[in-house]
Structure 1
Amino acid sequence: MYIELPSHTDTKLINGGIAGMVGVTCVFPIDLAKTRLQNQRSGQQLYKNMMDCLIKTVRSEGYFGMYRGAAVNLTLVTPEKAIKLAANDFFLGAKRTMEMLAGCCAGMCQVTITTPMEMLKIQLQDAGSVVALKMGGTIIRVSAMEITRELLRTKGVTGLYRGLGATLMRDIPFSVVYFPLFAHLHQLGQHSSEDPSVPFYWSFTSGCLAGSIAAVVVSPCDVVKTRLQSLKKGANEETYNGVVDCVRKILRKEGPGAFLKGASCRALVIAPLFGIAQVVYFVGVGEFLLGYSPYNIYSA
């Protein structure tokens, strides 16, 4: 059990950053499988499921092939998670009854980091797929810096924000569902109104449950975002001109079921990611690192 400490802005940023880095390290291989499953087109079913994708990835690219794009995520997930969690707390502090609006604002704030982060991550994750092996015979190896330079050279800063609309469509509803649901689940673990402390395992469970539900709800938007942000296309792969065009073509050529590709993988990624995030956030790792204690916080 722990005492939930009131956080300063700096501790919120530290907690969010640490939580994001720990979570990403734990679940990144599943995220890679999600991306590759979502990018599969009809008639090109190279992976049967998540385990099949991971096994083929290890066979063709080695163990570290499962961590393609992890460096980008580990670099940018700190500001991304810090912005998301801190923004939600900031907007929520204005009025407790505005939980959904606070989540919406948090989702809008985080896309400034999320969009370029996901853009680069998807290129790196998809570059070593079996699709590339079948077409070219060799594993395509690129770096985040090479992709960034090419995008800036050819499309400018806006190139890094390809799929921004789809990212907003995913992250705003996710935050609207996740934060209020987590808050209410977390509150159920309180011993009493006089003793609001909650066991760490309850924070973890609440984060996992709320995260997995929110992830599945917005999975169709995540599929659209992944398709739009995937720059390398095979000879027979479809290209898309925006969100509406992408939705229309997926529906016509692959059917409604295509919008749930990778949904189980995404739930498996998001559940522990946000479970870990909430434990770090509520335990108060940032407070510990900055030397805060219950005494000097309350007496400040």
Structure 2
Amino acid sequence: MADQKKAASFNVLPKIINGGIAGIIGVTCVFPMDLVKTRLQNQQIGPNGEKMYSSIIDCFRKTIKQDGFFGMYRGSAVNILLVTPEKAIKLAANDYFRFHLATPEGKLPLHMAGIAGGLAGLFQIIVTTPMELLKIQMQDAGRIASAERAAGREVQKTTALDVAKTLVKEHGIFGLYKGVKATGVRDVVFSVVYFPMMASINDAGPRKADNSGEAVFYWSLFAGLSAGMFSALLVTPFDVIKTRLQAIKKIEGEKEFDGFFDCLTKTMKYEGPLAFFKGGLCRIMVLAPMFGIAQMVYFTGVGEMILGIERKKSV
């Protein structure tokens, strides 16, 4: 009986709407920094120590010089299109599992909060893997093009749709899931850490005066920022491996990788352990504000307002 009541009282539709809107706003705000992160992570050091970008600022400067300001948004269309279901799944699934794993008194033990977050991370890779695979090709295209021009070769422009068609034609639908294992490891570990940490910080803050029981908006922003910063840094090595595995085109002389462990061993052998934290600062600068903004928007309850549903405090 208790389970039936719980199932009946959890409305997933407004959570999905909240997650979709939160994702669009969050990604749009931080996409240029995400592009820089991708290019720095894919950049391999040459035999004589040469590299295209020396820092975050250098990558920003060269990208804007070569492609203009809107070049910083290469690949954003596919990302914004797919981030709606991706964030809707991630944020709504976490709330769903937290709700159903809570005790009859509405309490959620820490280990159950971690399980809820991990399940949410696992569910989201259905959308995350193809989204990031296509996004990375577009984000890294400028770096590849610069190297091709420097070598005197013609540069062919491509689109995310072209890449998707080629992958499906050559490998079937699973061609869009290149790097899915690395994506799964990164997102599950991130979610296991992020969601319980964010919820703990969020619960400790001041509440709104509307009797919803939710934290004030700036505290939700702070909770998302803090938890996102720590979790992003923690899983950066997995993100580096995932990004390199999903980069289909390489600059001449760059190493190819045959799976997760091959990428792990070759990167360690030729570039050392610090290579696993390439783009780490960028990743923090991307995920901390993105999840801070996304959590703040998610907790505003836009979905409930649109559907005319009374908001209830989350577990």
TM-score, L = length of structure 1 = 0.92
Larger deviation, residues 83-92 vs 128-137: 128-137
Distance in 1 of aligned mates of 2:166 and 2:20: 28
Q: Does 1:155 align with 2:171?
A: yes
Deviation at 1:195, TM superposition (A): 8.4
Distance 1:195 1:85, change over 3 A: closer
196, 207, 215: which is aligned to 1:180? 196
Deviation at 1:290, TM superposition (A): 2.0
Map residues 75-114 of structure 1 onto 2, 5 A cutoff.
75-94=81-100, 95=102, 96-97=108-109, 98-114=112-128
1:127 aligns with 141
Matched positions, count: 290
Distance 1:220 1:13, change over 3 A: same
30, 38, 54: which is aligned to 2:60? 54
- Aligned residue identity for 2:280: A
Q: Does 1:13 align with 2:19?
A: no
Map residues 1-300 of structure 1 onto 2, 5 A cutoff.
8-43=11-46, 44-94=50-100, 95=102, 96-97=108-109, 98-129=112-143, 130-136=146-152, 140-190=156-206, 196-293=213-310
Deviation at 1:119, TM superposition (A): 0.3
Distance 1:205 1:140, change over 3 A: farther
1:105 and 1:172 in contact (8 A); partners too = yes
Distance in 2 of aligned mates of 1:117 and 1:289: 27
Identity of aligned residues (%): 50
Distance in 2 of aligned mates of 1:42 and 1:165: 25
SS at match of 2:266: helix
Larger deviation, residues 70-79 vs 283-292: 283-292
Note the aligned Cα RMSD (angstroms).
Answer: 1.9
Deviation at 1:283, TM superposition (A): 1.1
SS at match of 1:128: helix
Distance in 2 of aligned mates of 1:176 and 1:136: 47
**CA displacement, residues 171-217 of structure 1 (integer Å, 9 cap, x when unaligned):** 0000001000001000110459x984421100001101101110000
- Aligned residue identity for 1:169: V
Which stretches in structure 2 are left out of the alignment for 5+ residues? 1-8, 103-107
TM-score, L = length of structure 2 = 0.88
2:206 and 2:219 in contact (8 A); partners too = no
**CA displacement, residues 103-133 of structure 1 (integer Å, 9 cap, x when unaligned):** 1100100000000000000001111123344
1:58 and 1:65 in contact (8 A); partners too = yes
1:104 and 1:172 in contact (8 A); partners too = yes
1:128 and 1:140 in contact (8 A); partners too = no
1:224 and 1:247 in contact (8 A); partners too = yes
